[in-house]
Amino acid sequence: MSLLGNIIWLIFGGFLSGVGYILGGISTCLTIIGIPFGLATIQLGIASFTPFGKEIKKGPNADTTLALILNAVWIFIFGWAIALNHLFWGVLLAITIIGLPFAKQHFKLMILALFPFGRTLE
């Protein structure tokens, strides 16, 4: 089921979303200060290609002070806008019965968009 969900996800916007994240991450990596945020954006782009059948996992450095500081800066600069985008599409898709599985994936990506440092989608 997750293979079919991922194929439909890619066809109806997941591919363009992932490419957009990756291109945004590469452009953010052009500055030295932006490299950690660019890598987090690229990680989010890779995760948005195939979200079905995966869960958010905490890494060993998820609760460190550095991850907390980077997540706080991330939320202030990038994360809130990305999370609102996923929230909008998740609510819009949740209105229909057929869109519920896709809404669930947007809500999953919304959490990852808010706190990308120390977490991955596996």
For the stretch 84-116, pLDDT in tens is 999 999 999 999 989 999 999 999 999 999 999
Q: Is the pLDDT of residue 1 over 80?
A: no
Per the structure, the complete domain to which residue 19 belongs is given by: 2-121
Does residue 121 or residue 91 have the better pLDDT? 91
Instruction: Give me the number of domains the chain comprises.
Output: 1
Candidates 32, 121, 27, 117; CA nearest to 79 is 117
Candidates 52, 65, 69, 30; CA nearest to 106 is 52
pLDDT one-digit tens code per residue, 33-86? 999 999 999 999 999 999 999 999 998 888 899 999 999 999 999 899 999 999
On whether the pTM is more than 0.85, the answer is yes
Buried/exposed code over 61-97 (b: 16+ C-beta within 10 A; e: otherwise): eeeeeebeebbeebbeebbeebbeebeebbeebeeee
pLDDT one-digit tens code per residue, 78-88? 899 999 999 99
Q: Is the pLDDT of residue 121 over 90?
A: no
Q: Is the pLDDT of residue 5 over 80?
A: yes
Supply the pLDDT for residue 122: 86
CA 45 to chain centre: 6
